[in-house]
């Protein structure tokens, strides 16, 4: 079998994830399936923000052979067990969790229906998962001695994105990936419309059989050269800016490191809080149509407190949408070059990781690229719209009416048709696993995807629950008080007290006894400094 040359154009997290994953998954057992090279410009500024992940990141670490603790030390990593949503329902300090672990009653799980028939005196996820309370207690998901804790708690990580890219660079180069630090100035094409090579400012001509575009929103290969269009999805997700800041612990340390990501709704969007080992990363994701950059920065500083008044901020601009096709000819776009959805559910790195996994699984060992592209484009399109629906749902279920922004996101025209069909159906029955076997609901339109004239599968996307199944939908739906009025009509206003599973109660009690505070775990296991609490 002839070794194929892969050239990744652009570095950053996406580029180096592709390099590390493809090298590990293709070149195994002494076989050299692919010669992998990456070229990145020394002139392109890197965007560094705190990054939150979802548990799929553990697959990448396992495939690439990266030790979890080494990884956490290198990227200032901390544990993430949940996302805590604050002020999304009424804007009055209400909150709920979307945790990674939960208890499911076997053989049939009626927990949601029983909760709907109760008085809802306990938040739904706290009745089926110990993780929300473990998070509220500030506990790590494992012991310092790495001893098992009952049923293992699923977790992901918070990390410094720039350090993650640097760590993967060292890891990949040490294992045979070629690294060119040069500025790409031109792209050379073959007669058949495939890319032949890229030309650099240093006069180098780099050939390959397969090209991966990781040049971010610039889309140097997929857009600038191949002309693949962009599908704008900003009708359903209005945010297009983020004001970011880093609050170093030497400057202000709150006295703890939260083992979860926080997403707090403000007047025209929401703020992420991502705790690392040496800093807290914040970002106000907002819509420039509803608040000026100056006022957004002022609101972010007020949110953080007086100690944030002189901290430097940075504005990141983005557009929500996707490529008509992410794989065309011998070029596949990974990361921002392929599309973007705001990071409300921490899916930025996940989409890059998924594209790497799909490329490895559909690697064109022969010269038939079109068949592989046909399937990968379909899979990635389905997953993009699954994420779009899920994040759109956070907004359309709000009951906030305290600003023009929140009144706007509630309007019917801001709910995409797939999500509307889901919600209408779930007003008749709660979500169940079978809803995702073939997720086409009554009233859902069958409009084909925009293909921009490119060949391929243009069927309407479906939600395959590849990322979130019925239990995740329950977390958001019932966290946002879905079916409150309907349940009052169906079951009456006076309903029995909400109960929780004894297994959940036992897990919380065991956690109090066995699990250390998150910051203590980081100090003892990873060597995080013991910062002095700010007053």
Q: How many domains does the chain have?
A: 1
214 found inside a domain:
no
Question: What is the rounded CA–CA span in Å between residue 406 and residue 18?
Answer: 38
59 found inside a domain:
no
138 found inside a domain:
yes
Q: Which of 80, 142, 225, 325 is catalytic?
A: 80
Count other C-beta atoms under 10 Å from residue 343's C-beta: 22
- Domain of residue 398: give its range: 104-158+383-503
Cα separations in angstroms, 112 against 6, 83, 126, 349: 48, 20, 12, 31
Question: Locate tokens 């012991």: which residue?
Answer: 143
With a CB cutoff of 8 Å and minimum separation 6, the contacts of 254 are 280, 533, 534
Helix locations, 267-343, DSSP H: 293-304
483 found inside a domain:
yes
pLDDT tens-digit profile, the chain (535 residues): 689 999 999 999 999 999 999 999 999 988 899 999 999 999 877 666 789 999 999 999 999 999 999 999 999 999 999 999 999 999 999 999 999 999 988 888 899 999 999 999 999 999 999 999 999 999 999 999 877 777 789 999 999 999 999 999 999 999 999 999 999 999 999 999 999 999 999 999 999 999 999 999 999 999 999 999 999 999 999 999 999 999 999 999 999 999 999 999 999 999 999 999 999 999 999 999 999 999 999 999 999 999 999 999 999 999 999 999 999 999 999 999 999 999 999 999 999 999 999 999 999 999 899 999 999 999 999 999 999 999 999 999 999 999 999 999 999 999 999 999 999 999 998 899 999 988 899 999 899 998 899 999 999 999 999 999 999 999 999 999 999 999 999 999 899 999 999 999 999 999 999 999 999 999 999 999 999 999 8
Count other C-beta atoms under 10 Å from residue 529's C-beta: 12
328 found inside a domain:
no
Question: What is the rounded CA–CA span in Å between residue 153 and residue 511?
Answer: 11
- 438 burial (CB, 10 Å; 0-12 / 13-18 / 19+) is exposed
417 found inside a domain:
yes
Cα separations in angstroms, 172 against 10, 426, 457, 502: 15, 46, 34, 47
145 found inside a domain:
yes
488 found inside a domain:
yes
Catalytic residue check, 422: no
């Amino acid at each position: 079998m002839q070794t194929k040359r892969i050239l990744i154009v652009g570095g950053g997290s996406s580029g180096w994830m592709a390099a590390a994953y493809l090298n590990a998954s293709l070149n195994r057992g002494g076989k050299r399936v692919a010669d992998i090279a990456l070229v990145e410009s020394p002139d392109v500024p890197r965007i560094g923000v705190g990054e939150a992940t979802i548990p799929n990141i553990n697959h990448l670490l396992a495939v690439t052979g990266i030790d979890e603790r080494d990884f956490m030390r290198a990227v200032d990593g901390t544990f993430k067990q949940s996302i805590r949503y604050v002020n999304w329902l009424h804007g009055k300090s209400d909150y709920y969790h979307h945790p990674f672990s939960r208890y499911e009653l076997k053989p049939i799980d009626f927990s949601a229906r029983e909760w709907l028939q109760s008085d809802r005196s306990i938040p739904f996820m706290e009745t089926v998962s110990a993780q929300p309370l473990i998070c509220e207690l500030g506990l790590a998901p494992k012991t310092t001695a790495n001893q098992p804790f009952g049923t293992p708690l699923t977790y992901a990580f918070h990390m410094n994105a720039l350090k993650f890219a640097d760590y993967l660079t060292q890891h990949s180069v040490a294992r045979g990936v070629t690294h060119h630090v040069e500025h790409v100035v031109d792209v050379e094409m073959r007669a058949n419309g495939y890319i032949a090579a890229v030309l650099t400012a240093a006069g180098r001509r780099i050939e390959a059989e397969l090209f991966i575009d990781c040049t971010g929103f610039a889309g140097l290969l997929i857009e600038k050269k191949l002309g693949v269009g962009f599908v704008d999805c900003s009708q359903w997700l209005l945010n297009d800016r983020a004001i970011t800041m880093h609050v170093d612990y030497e400057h202000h340390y709150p006295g703890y490191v939260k083992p979860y990501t926080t997403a707090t709704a403000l007047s025209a969007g929401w703020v992420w809080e991502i705790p690392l080992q040496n800093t807290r990363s914040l970002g106000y994701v907002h819509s420039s149509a509803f608040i000026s950059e100056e006022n957004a920065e002022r609101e972010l500083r007020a949110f953080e407190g007086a100690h944030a008044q002189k901290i430097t901020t940075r504005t990141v601009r983005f557009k929500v949408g996707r490529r008509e096709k992410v794989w065309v000819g011998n070029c596949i776009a990974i990361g921002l070059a392929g599309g973007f959805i705001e990071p409300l559910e921490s899916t930025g790195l996940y989409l890059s990781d998924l594209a790497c996994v799909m490329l490895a699984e559909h690697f064109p060992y022969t010269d038939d690229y079109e068949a592989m592209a046909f399937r990968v484009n379909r899979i990635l399109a389905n997953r993009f719209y699954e994420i779009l629906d899920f994040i759109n749902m956070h907004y359309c279920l709000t009951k906030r009416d305290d600003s023009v922004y929140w009144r706007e996101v509630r309007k019917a025209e801001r709910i995409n048709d797939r999500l509307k069909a889901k919600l209408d159906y779930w007003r008749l029955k709660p979500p169940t696993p079978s809803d995702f076997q073939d997720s086409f609901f009554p009233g859902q339109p069958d409009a084909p995807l925009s293909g921009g004239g490119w060949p391929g599968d243009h069927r309407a996307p479906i939600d395959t629950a590849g990322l979130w199944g019925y239990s995740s939908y329950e977390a958001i739906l019932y966290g946002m008080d879905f079916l409150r009025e309907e349940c009052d009509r169906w079951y009456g206003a006076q309903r029995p007290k909400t109960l929780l599973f004894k297994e959940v109660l036992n897990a919380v009690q065991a956690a109090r006894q066995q699990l250390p505070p998150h910051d203590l775990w980081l100090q003892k296991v990873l060597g995080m400094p013991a910062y002095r609490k700010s007053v």
